[in-house]
């Protein structure tokens, strides 16, 4: 998990799957489309973020890298 780089998209990010309209870690993103349940299908981060792809990385990022 590298927090110092600008990501190209939110695909595979666990932080976006837990919330309907915003990043759980508090990072800014632009949402392009949603699935039938209202969860993000495709989004673009507007600032560098950790983009956790596993649950353990998500828990670590939630504790150490929250933006809020």
32 within domain boundaries? yes
Q: What number is the average pLDDT over the span 22-44? A: 76
Number of domains in the chain: 1
Q: What pTM value is reported for the model?
A: 0.75
4 within domain boundaries? no
Give the per-residue pLDDT at 3.
72
9 within domain boundaries? no
55 within domain boundaries? yes
39 within domain boundaries? yes
Percent of the chain with pLDDT over 70: 79
6 within domain boundaries? no
Give the per-residue pLDDT at 18.
62
Contact 66, 44 (CB under 8 A): no
Distance separating alpha carbons of residues 21 and 52, to the nearest angstrom: 17
The domain in which residue 59 lies consists of 14-64
Q: How far is CA 28 from the centre of its chain?
A: 9
Distance separating alpha carbons of residues 16 and 11, to the nearest angstrom: 9
50 within domain boundaries? yes
């Amino acid at each position: 998990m590298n927090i110092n780089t600008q990501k190209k998209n939110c695909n595979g990010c666990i932080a976006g799957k837990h919330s309907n309209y915003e990043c759980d870690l508090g990072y800014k993103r632009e949402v392009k489309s949603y699935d039938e349940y209202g969860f993000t299908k495709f989004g673009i981060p507007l600032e560098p973020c950790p983009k956790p792809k596993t649950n353990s990385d998500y828990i670590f990022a939630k504790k150490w890298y929250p933006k809020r």
